[in-house]
Amino acid sequence: MEILQPLLRSMETGSVYALAALGIIIVWRTSLVMHFAQGAMGMFSGTAVAFVLNRTGAPLWVAVLAGAVVAILLGFAVDFAVIRQLKRATAVGKEIVTLGLIMVFMGLAPIVFGTDPMLLPKAIPTGEVEVAGANISYNAILNITVGIAIAAGLFVVLQKTKLGLAIRATASNEQTARLMGIPTKTVTLVAWAVAGVLGMLAAVMIAPTTTVTPTFMNTVQVSALFACVLGGFQTFYGPVIGAYLIAVASNFLKLYGSSVWGDQILYLLILVFLLVRPNGLVGKTYLQKV
C-alpha cells in the first residue's frame, strides 16, 4: 500500500483547507458570525488574481498582491456595511446573512470579471523532487510550506503580540474587551480582512488544479466548514488539525475505499463524529445557563 505519495498530496490540499478554515474561525471568534461566504469571497478575490494575470500579463506575485488588496477591501466592506449593522441579530440571522453573501459574490464575479472561465498557473510551473520513493512537485512543497508557515505565523501573532491579545480578548468576551479599552471594532475589521486574504491565498493555491469559475471554491468552503466542526470552534489550532485530517481522509478513502463514494463516506463519518462529539476534537463542553 502506497502511503507517502497520497499523504504528501493530502498535505497540499490540507494546507488549502487550513487557510480557509482559519479565515472562518478568526471571523467566528471575533464577530460570532458563521462565515459561510469565506469560500465565495476567496473565489472573488482569487478570480481577481486570475483576471489581473490574464489581462495585464503582470507577474503572479503582483497579481496576488492586487488580489490581497481586493480581499482586504472586501473584508472591510462586508464587516463595515453588513456585519456591524447586525449587532442585535440572532446567530441564525447572521448565518443567513453570510449565506446571502455567497449568492451576492457568486453573482458579482461574472459581472466584474466576465463569464469566460480563466486559468491560473502554478507559482512554480515545473520541477519535482523524489522523497523516499514519492514524487512531490516544487509547487506542492511551496503550498505546504505557505500553509504551515501562515498557520504558525498566525499563532505567533495571536499568542505573542498586542494585536493577538486584542483578538483573543475579543474572542473570549467582546463586551468585557470593549470595556477594557480594546478597540473591538478595529479588531473585527482586521479579522475580516485577514479572513479575506486567507481565502484569496487558498483560492490561488487550489486554482491551478481546476478552472477559475464562480463555483471553483465550493469544495474548499465545504471542507473548511467541516474542518472547523472537526476541530471545534473554541481554539485556533483545532480547525487546522481538522483541515489536514479531512484532506488525508478524503484522499485515502478515494484511493483505497471507493473513488466514487469516497466523499459520501467521509461526509457520513463527519456527521457521525458530530453526533458523538458535538464540540469537536479539542472543544470544551459548555454548561447551559438556566
Partner 1 sequence: MSETLKPQTRRWLGNAHLQYLLFGAVLCLLPLLSSSGVLKASTLSTLAFVLIYAIAAMGLNLLLGYSGLISLGTAGFMGLGAYLAAYVQDDLGLGFWVALLAALVVPTFIGILVGVVSLRVRSIYLAIATLCISEILLKTFEQAEWFTRGTAGKQSSYPVIFGVHTDRQAMFVVIVIALIAVMMLTHNVVHGQLGRALHAMRSSEVAAQAMGVNILKYKLFAFALATLYAGLAGALYLFFLKSSYPSTWNLFLSLNVIAMVVVGGLRSIFGTVAGAFVIIAVPELVLKELPVIGDIPGLPYIFSGVLIVLVIMFFPQGLQGLWQLVRDAISSRRHPSGPGTPRATAEVEPPLGTEAVTR
Measured from the CB atom, is 60 or 222 closer to partner 1?
222
Closest CA to 162 of 179, 186, 146: 186
233 binding partner 1? (CB under 8 A): yes
Measuring CA to CA, how many Å separate 130 from each of 5, 141, 268? 10, 12, 35
Measured from the CB atom, is 162 or 289 closer to partner 1?
289
User: Which region among 69-77, 138-146, 164-172, 266-274 touches partner 1 (by CB under 8 A)?
Assistant: 266-274
Contact 192, 27 (CB under 8 A): yes
290 binding partner 1? (CB under 8 A): yes
Site string for partner 1, 242-261 (x = CB under 8 A): ------------------xx
Contact 102, 78 (CB under 8 A): no
Site string for partner 1, 182-201 (x = CB under 8 A): --------------------
Residue 190 has φ and ψ, to the nearest 5°, of -60, -40
In the window 100-129, what residues touch partner 1 (CB under 8 A)? 100-111, 115
CA distance 77 to 140: 33
77 binding partner 1? (CB under 8 A): no
> 87: burial class by Cβ within 10 Å (0-12, 13-18, 19+)?
exposed
CA distance 6 to 249: 10
210 binding partner 1? (CB under 8 A): no
Q: Which residues bind partner 1 (CB under 8 A)?
A: 34, 36, 82, 85-86, 88-93, 95-97, 99-111, 115, 214, 218, 222, 225-226, 228-229, 233, 260-261, 263-264, 267-268, 270-271, 274-275, 278, 288, 290
